[in-house]
Chains A and B, each alone.
Chain A
């Protein structure tokens, strides 16, 4: 089972929502679409689902061109951020509705609905109406409909966004298991880098209506091909600063300098952009090669066992994320240490060079 986009483009009233995008999504793992709000995740899903027409390009499913096929004929499921269920129908009828439209035999419908209800722990609620359920149960009902349908592709468009924290964690843990071995291509859209990492599989980074990078999730996390990709796949946002390199010496615009080695040292001299994840910038140096930076602390946050500090480095806002509780004084200058060996280097046009 595969979904393949061949330079698919979507325009609505002259505005391009999806720029030419080519992508091959496969079954057996989660395909995560990661991007900020408005980056085109939902637009891309609607294109694949056939809810919106293609301006140009093609969509293929299982080696067949489905670009002209209606949504119904593509045999897909879609679970929304809102809990979409038919209000007048019971949970049972809701799960059964696509099967009934497909003209399936009554006994088979019964079996499929009960199986899906068991998986999602909806058995006791089968005779209730959606509005009598909690938010988590309503979303389970929508998921059960997708599972019972046994469609070729399941699109999950930020399905956990409207659930509270605990339910979200619970359901997120169950999700990969729910769809494992069902043979459907699972596409999961989210704006949270953490969800992409947790759900694993493959990730497509989206920015401004285009997929900037696609591959195994961990690999993309370790090697973002571009500065925008690095920015999308980091929470808190990745730190960036302009830098120049002469010989083996790297110097930030703010004056901090250090000696580079390895592949970074082989780069031609010139101007670059350095980017480093917040947890590689700490208030205490963990090694002798850490680069000392200093800046005014703007905001501090304590979350669980980690403390973060937003500080000003030159004209850029930087974030440090460290274990333990650290005493920061807001408004005071503070020293931070950067593990330069973990930094990404991007060329002037935003491509990863080292």
Chain B
């Protein structure tokens, strides 16, 4: 028997409203700005895809995008292996487990702007502990406010300090869920530690690692607060990542059209790369 009525729509209505306020309305507003020019007073002129073209062709955007990819690449290449190594070396049972877990979770509990401010004060030459130590004790010329390389090293180290814990905790959760029986089987076969890692630990961590890589990609690709507070995008434009540049255009120059177009391109890139990661990493399971 078939009942035909439209009641089912009412059941999806709450989530529809939520998603609308959450995502659809803000995105459509941005889409609206991205194809028009405005001079205030709610007067709009149709621009078509001009802003998109302008952004994609601009050296400034391409440079910021390059910096963004470099930043995210470095973050992933450092934090994922480092997180796995730390997780592997953490105790699996005993009284040190809670201690380690709390220590690991601590950096993640600190608000992002506080992290930026902390590292700013920490690394300032003369004033900061690290800045003083590097320059006046070790005699290394280290000034992240003047030297682009020093600024880059500082934002990378800051992010590694702040977010490696996430990879550690996720990997650790994957590791402790492996039954002892697997390690015994490896011991009986006489498998080397590398083989245990390659054929037991890594496959068993795969699901959580997929999540860890996705989260770290998205967070690092969209990062704003910490480097903004630490370097403000400087010295010069050397640490102006995409989001910092975007805010400069939108709120600094108040170019709403180009900023909106840039937001959408930014969003599309994040989405595309996340999708690529996800598809590649879960490809084996679907087989």
Contact = CB atoms under 8 A, between A and B. Distances in A.
- Give 4 nearest A-B pairs by CB, closest first: A72-B190, A88-B203, A98-B189, A87-B203
B181 A82 contact: yes
Contact of A78 (B184, B203, B204): B184
Given A72-B189, A77-B188, A78-B188, 11 more contacts: A70-B190, A76-B188, A78-B184, A80-B185, A84-B181, A86-B185, A86-B200, A88-B202, A98-B189, A101-B189, A102-B190
Interface in A19-68: 46, 49, 51
Contact of B191 (A76, A87, A101): A101
B163 to A, nearest CB: 28
Interface in A77-99: 77-78, 80, 82, 84, 86-89, 97-98
A98 B190 CA distance: 7
Contacts of B202: 88
Interface in B151-208: 179, 181-182, 184-185, 187-191, 195, 199-200, 202-204
A244 interface: no
Contacts of B181: 80, 82, 84
B188 A88 contact: no
Interface of A: 46, 49, 51, 70-72, 76-78, 80, 82, 84, 86-89, 97-98, 101-102
Given A86-B200, A89-B199, A51 B184 contact: yes
B97 to A, nearest CB: 16
Given A82-B181, A84-B181, A84-B182, A72 B187 contact: yes
B73 to A, nearest CB: 26
A171 to B, nearest CB: 18
Contacts of A98: 188-190
Nearest to A89: B199
Contacts of A49: 184, 188
Contacts of B188: 49, 51, 71-72, 76-78, 98
B13 to A, nearest CB: 40
Interface in B211-257: none
Contacts of B185: 78, 80, 84, 86
Nearest to B202: A88
Given A82-B181, A84-B182, A51 B203 contact: no
A70 B195 CA distance: 18
B199 A71 contact: no
Contacts of A77: 188
A76 B204 CA distance: 25
Contacts of A82: 179, 181
Nearest to A79: B185
30 contacts: A46-B184, A51-B187, A51-B188, A71-B188, A71-B190, A72-B187, A72-B189, A76-B188, A77-B188, A78-B184, A78-B185, A78-B188, A80-B184, A82-B181, A84-B179, A86-B185, A86-B200, A86-B203, A87-B199, A87-B203, A88-B199, A88-B202, A89-B199, A97-B189, A97-B191, A98-B188, A98-B190, A101-B189, A101-B190, A101-B191
